[in-house]
Amino acid sequence: MSSKDEKGGDHKFSEEYLVLKPQGGHSWDLLHLLFSSNVDINKFVECSEGMKVHGVENRWILVLSVILEKILHHLAKPMYWLNWVIETYLNLVFSYDNFSSFLFGLLHGKLVMPDESSENYLSIMGNFDTRFELDKNTKNGDRRYHGALSAVAAKLAYENEALVKDTITNKWKMEFLGFYNFWDDFQGEASTQAYMFQDRKDDPELVVVAFRGTEMFNAVDWSSDFDISWYGLLGIGKVHGGFMKALGLRKGLGWPQDLKQQENDKRMFAYYTLREKLTDILRKNEKAKVIITGHSLGGALAVVFPTVLAFHKEDLLLKVGDEKLGKFLKEQLRINGVKYWRFVYCNDLIPRVPFDNRSFLFKHFGTCLYFNSLYQGKVVEVEPNKNYINPAEVLLIHQVS
């Protein structure tokens, strides 16, 4: 429904917006959303007054997003426990030298449950790919170093704090700065994770921030991905609402230049906390380079972070969304000498969503480095089969091939 009824509510900071409310209506409201362009009177939608979305091909995306978020809401606890069972089982089994010793312990009731906070405890992904070492053939100063470090740092972000700290300190021989659980004002919980490190303790040349991506069985993460709400930022364009919320968008306030909290309010918001810490480092050493990285949801947050910096005109730090946003960011990155690389591996779905088509009204931007299944890379304008998993285009791809 139009924000006029609620005097703007949580979204009054933006003059133009469309926010989905999965818990807001009933099945007939879904049908109305699909077949009526008057989305401002729909119970599943909160938007600018009088907004219309024309064309079923544009509205079915809204309906699909609402349905998926409803499903995820109901599956949140089952998904949490499924993740716990699988993760615990894998860590339990792999903690033994062989299956026979595991079986012996099981039969004799002598199994030792793994400690989830230990540096030896791995995520589901980490159990199947335990590679966290940096490429020994690539050193700082090499052309490939920053890209290789970014990729491994994004992968490490899925692990717990103890493992992250141990890897950075003992394996990479770098300085661990912190591991954070950031608050999402709209989810009402600390659901955004990131960590920071630098190449050395004193006068660092490189500082890295890595955001955690979508965890396999985390309903909150998937909800952020599927939430295709958007907000219009003045002079920038439309930005994905789910990603902005995860980064620290404030209810009713949006992106104030400075965050004002009560003394007893201990919540940390990703954008403001990281901006403050990076600013402190760069004031002491302006020559230090900063890398913001992440995979999946983490990659999206890594893009939105400099977007908000540009919105706030944070020149010291600068020294995702629609096509207009892409053009804005390209220009801001060019002006401030910031390099943005978008890595796409073979048929990986994650870097290809949201789809770049008329229904999603989304445009990817930046230098695309595409790697095939043989790890042969090349710079491309657009990755091959950019929408190959989109149901509307799968048939067309097979017909052409």
- 261/281 Cα distance (integer angstroms): 23
Domain assignment present for residue 261? The answer is yes
Parts of the chain with a pLDDT under 50: 2-5, 7, 319-326, 393-401
Domain assignment present for residue 356? The answer is no
* pLDDT tens digit sequence for 288-302: 899 999 998 998 899
Per the structure, the count of domains in the chain is 1
Helical axes 99-107 vs 56-94, angle rounded to 10°: 80
Distances in Å between the Cα of 295 and the Cα atoms of 79, 172, 392 are 21, 20, 26
Burial class (CB in 10 A: 0-12, 13-18, 19+), 26: exposed
Q: What is the pLDDT of residue 172?
A: 96
Are 243 and 297 in contact by the 8 Å Cβ rule? The answer is yes
Q: Which residues contact 350 (CB under 8 A, 6 or more apart)?
A: 213, 214, 295, 296, 299
Distances in Å between the Cα of 308 and the Cα atoms of 190, 303, 341, 342 are 20, 9, 18, 19
Cis ω before 114 (30° cut-off from 0):
no
Domain assignment present for residue 369? The answer is no
The residue segments making up the domain with residue 158 are 14-339
Burial class (CB in 10 A: 0-12, 13-18, 19+), 182: buried
* pLDDT tens digit sequence for 370-401: 888 777 888 887 777 776 655 554 444 333 33
- 249/266 Cα distance (integer angstroms): 16
Q: Which residues contact 233 (CB under 8 A, 6 or more apart)?
A: 14, 239, 255, 307, 311, 325
Measured in degrees and rounded to the nearest 5, phi and psi for residue 70 equal -65, -45
Are 321 and 238 in contact by the 8 Å Cβ rule? The answer is yes
Are 220 and 294 in contact by the 8 Å Cβ rule? The answer is no
CATH at residue 176: 3.40.50
Domain assignment present for residue 360? The answer is no
Task: Give me the residues paired with residue 367 across strands.
Answer: 341
Domain assignment present for residue 353? The answer is no
Tokens of residue 226, six digits? 């599927």
Domain assignment present for residue 298? The answer is yes
Strand 377-380 vs strand 189-198: parallel, antiparallel, or unpaired? unpaired
Domain assignment present for residue 379? The answer is no
- 39/36 Cα distance (integer angstroms): 7
Domain assignment present for residue 344? The answer is no
Question: Using H for helix, E for strand and C for coil, what is the string for 152-207?
Answer: HHHHHCCCCHHHHHHHHHHHCCCEEEEEEEEEECCCCEEEEEEEEEECCCCCCCEE
Distances in Å between the Cα of 220 and the Cα atoms of 239, 293, 300 are 19, 20, 15
Query: How big is the chain by its Cα radius of gyration, in Å?
Result: 22
Are 355 and 263 in contact by the 8 Å Cβ rule? The answer is no
| Half-sphere exposure of residue 82: CA atoms within 13 angstroms, side-chain side | 10
- 14/233 Cα distance (integer angstroms): 7
The runs of H, that is alpha helices, within 285-340 are: 297-311, 315-318, 323-336
